[in-house]
Structure 1
């Protein structure tokens, strides 16, 4: 699964900056509304909601904001009609891009995404045009404080498929991968073993990668990803590119 970790780390760094600007507040609030609407407002019985709440707290969102978003999703407060939509397309160099959005206006969101693709040399495609090049997986990220034998044993015991070492804030971490239907079980299993869990999420993992070596293509691609990530309705942006460190610095 190597090839996506560098960009995942960049996204974590970007998320901290966005949180300071208040952008993550709006995104996570929307995600809480959707999770509560689909699975109910009780975090104890709604794993998706519980996971988003953990992210919201880690981003510093006040409890009253979280509770308000849950109430909106559960229907006890008024809420706009939000829906989840996945968009797919190709960036410069043939890089596959998947975007997940929460929107109350499909036409506006599609127009904004298409404009970003057109501006930076990409092409917005139909749903399914690139997702076949990815696996949708559950990922539990933990601090790399356990031995590899302990991680392996816990991963197998929790039904995980594989794991990978990476970094987060220059600190060593381990990302443990599982089928999306097993994510809650794996998370609970690791909690019972007192593993230091940093994040639990669903993620698109590329099955193959595209190496970008041309500096102009790299710059356009990174600008496109940044533009998409800055759209209010877009929750996540996932790609399948590989790029040298000096080109990544263009972000």
Structure 2
């Protein structure tokens, strides 16, 4: 998975930008609502809810908003009527993209997603057209300056990690979805702080794009990400070094 580490680094850089935006609160609350709706309001029995709460705490979502989001998901409060939908498409340069949304208005959101693709030299695709190019994986990212690859391997492999890759100043741990929480907990128990830990759609292969195409792809990414209903965006672009440093 050597190429995937570069993908994780790109996602991580984008994640740091996302965390500065106030609307990240909205995304975190929707994650909690959807998790509680699907698996109940007890995080002890609902691993998806535990992860959603953890992510919400990382962006300092207030405790009362976390509790209200759980109650919306379980139906104790109004506001939990949210649909979870994944749209697929192609961006500039043939880059495959998957867009997870959480919306209370399917007709509106599909029109908005289609408009973003069309405006930024992309096009939406049928369900299944690009999803086969991605695999659902747990992705845990560490700062390569704080830990060595051996440090991570010692804990990660014993806990059930699938792969560990050091590249571009970060160390990325990949797991099967079922092993994600135990592996994450193993690092927490070892007091090894990670930069991010999420279940992501990881591309099987990356498509190399030049700087000009890369900038166009990122304009589409940003247009999609600016939509309040968009929760996650996955893509298989291999961007040139230094593109985000300009």
Deviation at 1:175, TM superposition (A): 2.2
Q: Please say if residues 36 and 74 of structure 1, whose CA atoms lie closer than 8 Å, have aligned partners that are also in contact.
A: yes
Partners of 1:193 and 1:80 lie apart in 2 by 37
Q: Please say if residues 209 and 242 of structure 1, whose CA atoms lie closer than 8 Å, have aligned partners that are also in contact.
A: yes
Q: Structure 2 vs 1, CA of residues 244 and 148 (structure 1 numbering), >3 Å: closer, same or farther?
A: closer
Partners of 2:193 and 2:58 lie apart in 1 by 14
After superposition, the C-alpha distances for 1:115-154 in whole angstroms (9 at most, x for unaligned) are 0011011010011111111111012234554443332122
Unaligned runs of 5+ in 1: none
Name the residue aligned to 1:163. 164
Moved more, 152-161 or 115-124: 152-161
Deviation at 1:7, TM superposition (A): 1.8
Deviation at 1:214, TM superposition (A): 5.5
Partners of 2:129 and 2:77 lie apart in 1 by 38
Q: Please say if residues 43 and 49 of structure 2, whose CA atoms lie closer than 8 Å, have aligned partners that are also in contact.
A: yes
SS at 2:192 equivalent: coil
Superposed CA RMSD in Å reads 2.0
**Alignment of 1:8 onto 2:4:** no
SS at 1:44 equivalent: coil
Name the residue aligned to 1:82. 82
Q: Please say if residues 5 and 166 of structure 1, whose CA atoms lie closer than 8 Å, have aligned partners that are also in contact.
A: no
Q: Structure 2 vs 1, CA of residues 243 and 141 (structure 1 numbering), >3 Å: closer, same or farther?
A: closer
Unaligned runs of 5+ in 2: none
Partners of 2:9 and 2:150 lie apart in 1 by 25
Aligned length: 242
Name the residue aligned to 1:208. 205
**Alignment of 1:231 onto 2:227:** yes
User: After TM superposition, which residue ranges in structure 1, 4 or more long, deviate above 4 angstroms?
Assistant: none
Partners of 1:44 and 1:196 lie apart in 2 by 22
1:13-24 matched pairs, under 5 angstroms: 13-18=16-21, 22-24=22-24
Deviation at 1:106, TM superposition (A): 1.4
After superposition, the C-alpha distances for 1:189-224 in whole angstroms (9 at most, x for unaligned) are 333333324432101111111111162x33322111
Partners of 1:200 and 1:213 lie apart in 2 by 29
1:139-154 matched pairs, under 5 angstroms: 139-144=139-144, 145-154=146-155
Partners of 1:92 and 1:58 lie apart in 2 by 33
